[in-house]
């Protein structure tokens, strides 16, 4: 199980807030990374114990989107009632992260648990986000189950690969920090 000190959780939380701020939308033209939003919610579930972390991050996403396109900008393609499908979508990633945190062991075999947990969380997120937009945005005339599956088949691989990229980077950082802590180079002993 992953157990971080409160100080480490604050540091991780700050990094996740900054990562979403830098990659969500086009707020920072200097940074042209793919959106880390899915990874932020998954990693928050893994590393942050307080339950209020999820609504705080969701509020950050909403505020950033509103500042980007404007709440009253009904003409924007994504700002429809379907936007609220992001709540259970991101919630599924956060919950998958919580599950994984309980299953995690500091052993390479834990990747056999991490990989399907990430993929399943991402698929459920995609069902809510892409499926919710498809059915409830009003942008598609006569949506069908087959049409939703086609959308998911189109967009899920791209979103999953971006999620995996960020989670892999977080894994690498976690391993390095754990090794440094075990060597006493972080001043925390064995607890990261």
How distant, in Å, are the alpha carbons of 7, 38, 42, 100 from that of 159? 31, 8, 13, 19
* CATH code for position 51: 1.10.1760
The tens digit of pLDDT for each residue in 60-69 reads 998 888 877 7
User: Are 54 and 94 contacting, i.e. CB atoms less than 8 angstroms apart?
Assistant: yes
> Does 126 map to a domain?
yes
Which domain covers residue 31, as residue numbers?
Answer: 6-182
pLDDT mean over 164-170? 97
Structural domains in the chain (count): 1
What pTM was computed for the model?
0.89
Judge whether residue 192 has pLDDT over 50. no
What pLDDT, on the 0 to 100 scale, is given for residue 168? 97
> Does 189 map to a domain?
no
> Does 190 map to a domain?
no
The tens digit of pLDDT for each residue in 16-39 reads 999 999 998 765 556 678 899 999
Q: How far apart are CA 165 and CA 75, in angstroms?
A: 33
The tens digit of pLDDT for each residue in 71-127 reads 555 445 667 778 889 999 999 999 999 999 999 998 889 999 999 999 999 999 999
> Does 176 map to a domain?
yes
DSSP states of 14-44 as a string?
A: HHHHHHHHHHSTTS-TT--PPP-HHHHHHHH
> Does 24 map to a domain?
yes
What pLDDT, on the 0 to 100 scale, is given for residue 48? 95
């Amino acid at each position: 199980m992953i157990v971080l000190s409160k100080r480490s959780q604050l540091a991780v939380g700050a990094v996740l807030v900054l990562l979403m701020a830098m990659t969500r939308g086009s707020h920072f033209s200097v940074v042209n990374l793919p959106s880390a939003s899915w990874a932020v919610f998954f990693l928050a579930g893994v590393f942050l114990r307080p339950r209020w972390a999820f609504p705080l991050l969701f509020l950050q996403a909403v505020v950033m989107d509103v500042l980007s396109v404007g709440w009253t900008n009904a003409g924007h393609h994504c700002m429809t009632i379907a936007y609220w499908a992001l709540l259970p979508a991101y919630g599924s990633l956060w919950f998958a992260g919580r599950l994984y945190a309980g299953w995690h062991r500091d052993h390479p075999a834990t990747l056999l648990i991490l990989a399907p947990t990430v993929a399943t969380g991402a698929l459920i997120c995609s069902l809510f986000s892409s499926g919710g937009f498809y059915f409830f945005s009003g942008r598609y005339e006569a949506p069908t189950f087959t049409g939703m599956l086609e959308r998911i088949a189109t967009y899920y691989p791209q979103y999953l690969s971006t999620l995996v990229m960020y989670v892999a980077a977080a894994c690498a950082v976690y391993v390095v920090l754990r090794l440094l802590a075990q060597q006493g180079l972080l001043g925390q002993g064995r607890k990261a």
